[in-house]
Structure 1
Amino acid sequence: MKPVKKPQQKPRPRKPQAAPERIVDDGDIGMNARLAALTLIDAALEKRTGFDEAVTRSDFLSLSDSERSFARALAMLVLRRLGQLDHIIDQKTQKAPNDGVWALLRIGLVQIGFMQVPDFAAVSTTVKLAEREAHTRPFKGMINAILRGAIRDGSLNKPVASRLAPDWLFQRWKAAYGEQNAEGIALMLTQEPATDLSFKTPADLDRLKDELHGEPLGGLALRSSQRGNIADWAGYGEGVWWVQDAAASVAAGLLGDLTGKTAIDLCAAPGGKSLQMIAAGATVTALDRSKNRLKRVEENLARTSLEAEVVMGDAETWEDTRQFDAVLLDAPCSATGTLRRQPDVLWATRPTDIAKLADVQHRLLDSASGRVKPGGSLVYCTCSLEREEGETQVLAFLRRHPEFAIKKPDDATLTALGVPAESLGQQGWLRLLPHHRPGGQDGFFIAHLVRQNG
């Protein structure tokens, strides 16, 4: 083990204040919450849906409310800071410790650096956890030394952007968007996202923005700084808004006024874009292959008192021959653009996933093209930062389908939707990077394609 630096005679560094978790613990919440956090982290790193599945298991639900809150906060912060934490551990150990020790060091470092947990509680509870298992017990002294060393040297105060995300993804972003943008994307991992809402009408947004402590973002989007159960927020019971990231709302927003038009949302769940198109005046068909996910669509429709034709079916093979004025395809993707809300996605994604998903998107786009009326619109979008799922996909589609052309949004449309000019590509598509909007947003690729008449 590398020697731990002696304390220097200077004030101890303050804990970083960016997006602090609001869970306070002096050690009383206890071991069960920390053990649960370790389970959540393992599940998230094992597979893409692991975190969501783990929080629905009976052993997690059997915890008290405070234990569940603490465990989720702790696990999510580890996933946000995973690259930084692993780099620190690597620097402070001459030989990589076993997985159990590594996991304990992660949760100990996060509590010291980024949670409102007293240092003594962070260190002592982590050491006690080490004492519980034979494979970690011999390393409790090392764990204690490393955590106390991190308290003294302030290493947690110095995140290096290039080490926050998996290296293979950071290098892809650097090649695609340049080093400065790649660093901007990665640094968004350290920020806890606010809650964005989409409204049915401008009047509803204006009426409730102050009560929701909200900042209008363009279009019918509002960013709320409130916390807690959204069911208790103003307007929820009225059904005048729904949760939807500001970047996600741009896709349907490009279609403008849809009064008297027909529209289909091909991968509709959870339904935010369908609700937008209905509110814009369209008669909407909401299609999704998942019965369980369609329940979310139906619940959102019921709460907002909006109506749509809800259909379970595969967007690629659905046999309905109708054509629509507007077709929206938010295709299944790697979801690397959702890193602010779902940092686990970055660590569970593999390079081979991107190629497989790009093939799915290719087929879905071909199928979607036949559902567009002559003169109608096809909006293709993905919450991915990978070019194979965005720019490359659309260029290949246009070669296969010369009857389509990109409709470039004008300056007035971009301003109305709160889209910065830097997000507009020369070809007319939008590449919304997470750091393009103050406070962050999901990373999205969006292309508005129009089918020529004739």
Structure 2
Amino acid sequence: MSDASLAARSAALDLLRDVLRKSIPFDDAFDAHPELRALDPRDRGFVRLLTATVLRRLGQIDALIQGSLAKPGLPKATVHDILRLGAAQLVFLGTPAHAAVDTAVELAAARGAEPYKGLINAVLRRIGREGAELAAQQDAGRLNTPDWLWLAWRQAYGIGRTRGIVEAHLHEAPLDITVKADPAVWAERLEAKLLPTGTLRRAAGGNLTELPGFAEGAWWVQDLAASLPAKLFGDLAGKRVYDLCAAPGGKTAQLVAQGAEVTAVDRSAKRLERVRENLARLNLSAEVLATDAATWTPDQPADAVLLDAPCSATGAIRRHPDILRVKTPEDIGKLAKAQSRLLAHAVELVKPGGTLVYCTCSIQPEEGEAQIDRILARDKRVERLPITPVDLGGGHAGDGNLAELINERGEVRSLPGMLGDLGGIDGFFVARLRRLHD
């Protein structure tokens, strides 16, 4: 095995430890890893793909490993993770058996697991022979989903929708792009599909910075679902808009591109640097303010407020499979309390007659529908403004199947598994409210 191959797999082993044992989000662990910068882009891409595959398919992989052991249980965490990396390559990434097994054995030696080289060799060779056939017989969606999430989704959406959610998580999401203008023109230039909302969709992968229009700031990456909230305000030309919890800034860019005078607020100064960088590349301008949106008191209320509240991000598992491994039921309760405080304060920031849009990239009802029920029950100064497919379509390619995304209450409730004929969508909740006169 080459030094680069060993370094790549060693980095993947570190990342698994950080996510599974320290509950560090994958992107944070990846960005902080001291040795990844020294790898060439191809090897860095392999590290990301390999680690994400293990996280996405962890239940299946662990079942295959346990079924290949002479007796249950593993001697140490490092050995277990090395086996996970090897199994992912053999079963899901198509790595030749000799390469996957040999590199795993060498990695064990390099990581102080020399006594377990024989075990690793035997288990992986068995998985190499039998793993693909066994994996085809597994209930993949159920195995890869933690019990607490499976039960929560089944209660909220029923078994059919839940099956759609967990099966969508087995596949990497496509690359979605929002353009400042002329989506049909850019669809042709980017060799992308124009979706009914005006979003452009390409297959995942490739170097974004080399695509047409990146350097000139014609577009930015933004999931189809994440692009919906900013469409719901109507004409924003010359209007004051507060974008709360704004980082990383995709919705900020949309609002500015629609002609609004935007103040982007986020408590993380570090994350706001990314907002500034994105706006600069796009040749867009907004006021950017590092402060807590739950207590911020501007000089005057806004015509419109967008609150993209911090959430569990369980709607974004296709893009971030580590969410399956780092989130807990306790996180949902804590986040719901924070969302409630933010939403109550956001009402104070919008002028009478103005519009407030609340959204989260979560599919937990506690972070979506329940928040709207609570604010409508306790604050009679707001009312729900139902959302229609026309609001989401933006007059581009027709509303297509967009009605599927809207619940009976007039809110957006997208779920992984919906819009399957278009390539799917992330899970999102969006509600539109009007501030009434006091």
- Number of the residue aligned with 1:191: 171
State the shift of 1:395 in Å: 0.5
Contact 2:173 2:204 (8 Å CA) reproduced: no
**Structure 1 Cα separation of the partners of residues 209 and 109 of structure 2:** 42
Between the aligned partners of 1:276 and 1:131, the Cα distance in structure 2 is 51
Matched, 1:381 2:382: no
**CA distance 1:324–1:342, shift in 2 (3 Å):** same
Residue 147 of structure 1, aligned match among 124, 144, 157: 124
- Give 1:225's aligned amino acid: A
**Number of the residue aligned with 2:325:** 347
Q: Deviations over 1:104-130 (max 9, x none)?
A: 111111101122421211122212323
Find the partner of 1:440 among 417, 424, 431: 424
Number of the residue aligned with 2:152: 172
The one of 4, 12, 18 aligned to 1:43: 18
Find the counterpart in structure 1 of residue 370 from structure 2.
392
Match of 2:219 in 1: 241
Alpha-carbon offset, residue 279 of structure 1: 1.6
Counterpart secondary structure, 2:263: strand
So what's the TM-score if we normalise by structure 1? 0.89
Tell me the residue number matched to 1:422.
404
Counterpart residue identity of residue 170, structure 2: T
Query: Match for residue 3 of structure 1?
Result: none
2:9 corresponding residue in structure 1: 34
Task: Identify which of 411, 420, 433 aligns with 1:449.
Answer: 433
Amino acid paired to 1:152: R
Answer whether contact 1:43 1:51 (CA < 8 A) is retained: no
Give how far 1:27 is off: 7.1
Which one of the candidate residues 220, 225, 233 is aligned to 2:203? Answer: 225
Alignment CA distance shift 1:181-1:28 (3 Å): farther
The C-alpha deviation readout for 1:15-45, integer Å capped at 9, x for no partner, is xxxxxxxxxxx97852221111100111122
- Find the partner of 1:109 among 83, 87, 90: 87
Distance in 2 of aligned mates of 1:41 and 1:448:
39
Written as runs of structure 1 = structure 2, the 5 A alignment for 1:44-193 is 44-45=19-20, 46-49=22-25, 51-93=27-69, 94-98=71-75, 99-133=77-111, 136-153=113-130, 154-160=133-139, 161-193=141-173
Alignment partner of 1:315 out of 268, 293, 305 = 293
How many positions carry a matched residue from both structures?
A: 426
Q: What secondary structure, in the 3-state scheme, does the structure 1 residue paired with 2:416 have?
A: coil
Q: Aligned partners of 1:63, 1:305: CA distance in 2, in Å?
A: 32
Mapped to 2, the partners of 1:187 and 1:194 lie a distance apart of 15
What is the Cα-based RMSD across aligned positions, in Å?
A: 2.0
User: How far apart, in 2, do the equivalents of 1:220 and 1:257 lie?
Assistant: 17
CA deviation after TM superposition for structure 1 residue 447, in Å: 0.5
Distance 1:48 1:101 in 2: 20
Provide the identity percentage: 43
CA shift, 1:255, in A, is: 1.8
| Residue 221 of structure 2 corresponds to residue 208 of structure 1 | no
Deviates more, 1:98-107 or 1:224-233: 224-233
Structure 2: runs of 5 or more not aligned: none
Measured in 1, the distance between the counterparts of 2:4 and 2:38 equals 14
Question: Contact 2:231/2:392 (CA < 8 Å) preserved in 1?
Answer: no
CA distance in 2, matches of 1:437, 1:344: 24
1:255 to 226, 233, 250: 233
Determine if contact 1:278/1:306 at 8 Å carries over to the other structure. yes
Look up the SS of the partner of 2:419 in the other structure.
coil
**Partner secondary structure for residue 58 of structure 1:** coil
**Aligned residue identity for 1:156:** A
Which residue identity is paired with 1:176?
A
Q: Deviations over 1:145-203 (max 9, x none)?
A: 332322333223344211112121111111111112212211222212221111111x2
Kept after mapping to 2: 8 A contact 1:213/1:225: no
1:257-296, aligned counterparts within 5 Å?
257-296=235-274
| Cα distance between partner residues in 2 of 1:142 and 1:403 | 66
| 1:179 alignment partner AA | I
CA contact (8 A) 1:44 1:51 kept: no
Residue 151 of structure 1 aligns to which amino acid in structure 2? G
- What SS does the aligned partner of 1:263 have? strand
The 2-side partners of 1:28 and 1:215 are apart by 40
User: Residues 133, 452 of structure 1: CA spacing in aligned structure 2 closer, same or farther, 3 A cutoff?
Assistant: closer
Change in 2 beyond 3 A, CA 1:358/1:226: closer
